[in-house]
């Protein structure tokens, strides 16, 4: 079989395609976005008619993936870690319904928060849902796991969670492909009631999930991804998972690791290997990227708590991602520092692009709202979050997708009137719409600015589900037509935009202002694509 040079995320996409995928459902989010983009660009996926359009948010993506798995086909759902909070309801319930065709949920975590609001660890969600969790330690494993995950899912009749972290997602290596499998035929679940989670059925389904736990643990004990690796020096044993294993091996690239190692890449924890390690070694070092979940579990279920070292006792930093140097320090090895960074390499703070439409929106907003005083602009997540930085200093919050409208409503309820909020077009259809409905029902005095650049710009300019629909959605939700104001935010319209903003801030009810101008980066990328297509 040929070797392909792939990023970790691309390896997952190719593994899923080769493993019989019928549909990918996703909402973009770094570092997971390229899984879906790879399927979107794949000729093979197009020939096989694999579903690959973006979903409005992670919850709708997961539910659609579950629907495909209900119909007997193999589906993959992809998101970044915080997306799993949005999809948590169907995710946890999908472990109770179970699946018919295989369902793989891929979640990319971002320890050190390179492009995220937190560094939550999705392995907790897998444990919470009580389903098997896969965590690749390299790109080949990512490919193999995606390929085989559908069989595992169909064997247990449960969704499978695959968790990876940024460095694995975004580094590249050669991948050996496996023979391509056909897609499943459409079929109905054997138990026609299993997807109807009425309490009487849900209780029965939940018992089945609990009964499956022993077999799921046995599968982890015997998984080819989990290993006990012999080592002569028993003064220490090492438990490591995912990319932590890669970093460990990097420290012993010229010699064998002298300590016994348990490599964990399929959860629940392979108790068999861990008990052996505890029996043989004087102390235990846990190396894991993300939260100290392995460390917590082994401390809980094995007696000799004092011999476990890791993030919880300060042997490794409590937060941030792992790297080979942190691992070296924990192993007591010399930390080899690289060359000093040359002076001309300086940190470049993120900034809105010159010519970005959000700039004109913030210039007008700052001028319009000044008379009411500070602290009343609730924003959301997207390029426009950079309005928090100088020279704009225009926003006062950014919490999670959709929180701008709802927080403005709550602040207005508390008497902060007027309250304004800024949200992007993609974020609006992701999770802003339902908050707008709350505000309309209570006629809250808020001014909603949907800064529409006709793209999901922050994650690379993917199509936005809001495209061409925003004013119709707002009207449908019940915003009064005369308080839906649309304007092109360019310099020559600055005074007009300020006038509109002042009028709507003074209105005692819900108003929506839609400054609409395409993202210039997306525009220039689209132009290039068109030119290339003409050649």
Site for ligand TPP in 391-410 (CB under 6 A): 401
Between the CA atoms of 402, 406, 407 and 408, what dihedral angle is there, to the nearest 10 degrees?
110
Residue 353 binding partner per list ligand TPP, ligand SF4, none, with a CB distance cut-off of 5 to 8 Å that depends on partner kind: ligand SF4
Q: Report the nearest approach of ligand TPP to the CB of residue 387 (Å).
A: 10
Number of Cβ within 10 Å of residue 262's Cβ equals: 28
300, containing H or E segment: helix 293-301
Whether residue 31 is preceded by a cis peptide bond, meaning omega within 30 degrees of 0, is yes
The yes or no reply on residue 523 touching ligand SF4 (CB under 6 A) is: no
Instruction: State how far the Cα of 262 lies from the Cα of 303, in Å rounded to an integer.
Output: 18
Q: Is 521 in the site for ligand SF4 (CB under 6 A)?
A: yes
Residue of 502, 531, 496, 534 lying closest to 515 (CA atoms): 496
- Closer to ligand TPP by Cβ: residue 40 or 266: 40
According to the binding rule CB under 6 A, does residue 383 interact with ligand SF4?
yes
How many residues sit close enough to ligand TPP to count as binding (CB under 6 A)? 23
**In terms of CB distance, is 82 or 458 closer to ligand SF4?**
458
Backbone angles phi, psi at 123, to 5 degrees: -60, -30
Figure out which of the listed residues 458, 484, 497, 512 binds ligand TPP, where binding follows CB under 6 A.
458
Could you tell me the CA-to-CA distances from 318 to 42, 135, 326 in Å, in that order? 40, 20, 11
Determine if 515 is a binding residue for ligand TPP (CB under 6 A).
Answer: no
With CB under 6 A as the contact rule, the residue among 92, 257, 352, 473 that binds ligand SF4 is 352
Count CB-CB contacts under 10 A for residue 224. Answer: 10
Rounded to a whole number of angstroms, the minimum distance from the CB of residue 353 to ligand SF4 is 3
Dist. CA 455–CA 462, nearest whole Å: 6
The reply on whether position 146 binds ligand SF4 by CB under 6 A is no
Do 287 and 236 form a contact (C-beta atoms < 8 A)?
no
- Rule CB under 6 A: say whether 80 interacts with ligand TPP: yes
Q: Pick from 23, 189, 241, 424: which binds ligand TPP (CB under 6 A)?
A: 424
Select the binding partner of residue 25 from ligand SF4, ligand TPP, none (C-beta < 5 to 8 A, by kind): none
Contact 399, 366 (CB under 8 A): no
Q: Which residues within the stretch 332-391 sit at the binding site for ligand TPP (CB under 6 A)?
A: 381-384
Q: Does 66 bind ligand TPP (CB under 6 A)?
A: no
Closer residue to ligand TPP in complex, CB, 45/458: 458
With respect to ligand TPP, which residue has the nearer C-beta, 29 or 159?
A: 29
Residue 356 as a binder of ligand SF4 (CB under 6 A): the answer is yes
- Residue 457 interacting with ligand SF4 (CB under 6 A): yes
- Residue 408 touches ligand SF4, criterion: CB under 6 A: no
Question: Residue 455: CB partners within 8 Å, gap ≥ 6?
Answer: 425, 426, 461, 462, 463, 464, 518, 519, 522
Minimum CB separation of residue 364 from ligand SF4 in Å reads 16
52 binds, among ligand SF4, ligand TPP, none (CB under 5 to 8 A by kind): none
Q: Which residues contact 246 (CB under 8 A, 6 or more apart)?
A: 137, 138, 168
**Which residue sits closest to ligand TPP, CB atoms considered?**
424
DSSP 8-64: HHHHHHHHHHHTTEEEEEE---TTTHHHHHHHHH-HHHHHTT-B-PPPSSHHHHHHH
User: Of these partners, ligand SF4, ligand TPP, none, which one is at the site of residue 238 (CB under 5 to 8 Å by kind)?
Assistant: none
Of 217 and 353, nearer to ligand TPP (C-beta) is: 353
Contact 474, 512 (CB under 8 A): yes
According to the binding rule CB under 6 A, does residue 459 interact with ligand TPP? Answer: yes
SS (H, E, C) 202-233: HHHHHHHHHHHHHHHHHHHHCCCCCEEECCCC
Phi and psi (nearest 5°) for 279? Answer: -65, -30
User: Among 5-13, 143-151, 286-294, 348-356, which window interacts with ligand SF4 (CB under 6 A)?
Assistant: 348-356
Judged by CB under 6 A, does residue 145 bind ligand SF4? no
Q: Taking CB under 6 A as the rule, does residue 453 contact ligand TPP?
A: yes
Closest approach, Cβ 403 to ligand TPP, in A, equals 10
Q: Assess contact for 503 and 420: CB atoms under 8 A.
A: no
Residue 122 binds to ligand TPP (criterion: CB under 6 A): no
DSSP conformation class of 311: T
Q: Which positions lie near ligand TPP, rule CB under 6 A?
A: 27-29, 80, 82-83, 86, 381-384, 401, 424-427, 453, 455-459, 464
Q: Which positions lie near ligand SF4, rule CB under 6 A?
A: 352-353, 356, 358, 383, 453, 457, 519-521
């Amino acid at each position: 079989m040929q070797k392909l040079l792939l990023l970790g995320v691309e390896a997952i996409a190719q593994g899923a395609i080769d493993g019989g995928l019928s549909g990918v459902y996703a909402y973009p989010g770094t570092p997971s976005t390229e899984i879906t983009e790879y399927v979107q660009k794949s000729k093979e996926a197009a020939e096989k008619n694999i579903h690959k359009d973006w979903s409005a948010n992670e919850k709708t993506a997961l539910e659609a993936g579950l629907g495909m798995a209900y119909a007997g086909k193999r589906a993959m759902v992809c998101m970044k870690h915080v997306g799993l909070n949005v999809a948590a309801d169907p995710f946890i319930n999908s472990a109770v319904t179970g699946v018919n065709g295989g369902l793989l949920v891929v979640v990319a975590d971002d320890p050190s928060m390179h492009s995220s609001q937190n560094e939550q660890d999705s392995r907790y969600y897998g444990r919470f849902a009580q389903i098997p969790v896969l965590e690749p330690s390299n790109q080949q494993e990512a490919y193999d796991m995606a390929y085989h995950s559908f069989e595992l899912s169909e064997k247990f009749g449960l969704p499978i969670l695959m968790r990876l972290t940024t460095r694995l997602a975004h580094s590249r290596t050669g991948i050996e492909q496996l023979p391509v499998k056909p897609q499943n035929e459409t079929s109905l679940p054997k138990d026609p009631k299993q997807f109807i989670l009425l309490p009487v059925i849900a209780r029965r389904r939940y018992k089945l999930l609990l009964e499956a736990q022993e077999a799921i643990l046995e599968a982890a004990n015997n998984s080819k991804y989990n290993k006990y690796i012999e080592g002569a020096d028993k003064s220490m044993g090492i438990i490591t998972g995912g990319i932590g294993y890669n970093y460990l091996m990097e420290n012993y690239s010229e010699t064998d690791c002298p300590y016994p190692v348990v490599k964990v890449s399929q959860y629940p924890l392979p108790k068999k290997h861990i008990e052996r390690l505890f029996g043989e070694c004087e102390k235990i070092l846990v190396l894991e990227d993300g939260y100290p979940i392995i460390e917590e579990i082994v401390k809980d279920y094995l007696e000799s708590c004092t011999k476990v070292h890791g993030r919880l006792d300060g042997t490794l930093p409590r937060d941030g991602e792992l790297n080979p140097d942190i691992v070296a320090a924990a192993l007591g090895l010399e930390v080899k520092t690289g060359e000093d960074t040359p002076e001309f390499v300086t940190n470049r703070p993120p900034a809105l692009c010159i010519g970005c439409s959000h700039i004109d929106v913030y210039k007008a907003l700052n001028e319009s709202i000044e008379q009411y005083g500070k602290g009343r602009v609730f924003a959301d997540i997207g390029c426009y979050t950079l309005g928090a930085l100088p020279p704009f200093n225009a926003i006062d919050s950014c919490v999670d997708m959709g929180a701008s409208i709802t927080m403005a409503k709550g602040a207005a309820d508390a008497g902060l009137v007027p309250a304004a909020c800024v949200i992007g077009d993609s974020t609006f259809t992701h999770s802003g719409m339902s908050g707008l409905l709350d505000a309309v029902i209570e006629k809250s005095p808020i001014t909603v600015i949907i800064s529409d650049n006709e793209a999901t710009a922050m994650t690379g300019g993917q199509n936005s589900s809001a495209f061409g629909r925003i004013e119709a959605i707002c009207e449908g939700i019940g915003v009064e037509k005369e308080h839906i104001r649309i304007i092109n935010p360019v310099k020559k319209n600055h005074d007009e935009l300020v006038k509109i903003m002042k009028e709507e801030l003074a209105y005692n009810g819900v108003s929506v202002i839609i400054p609409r101008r395409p993202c210039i980066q997306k525009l220039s990328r689209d132009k290039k694509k068109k030119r290339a297509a003409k050649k």
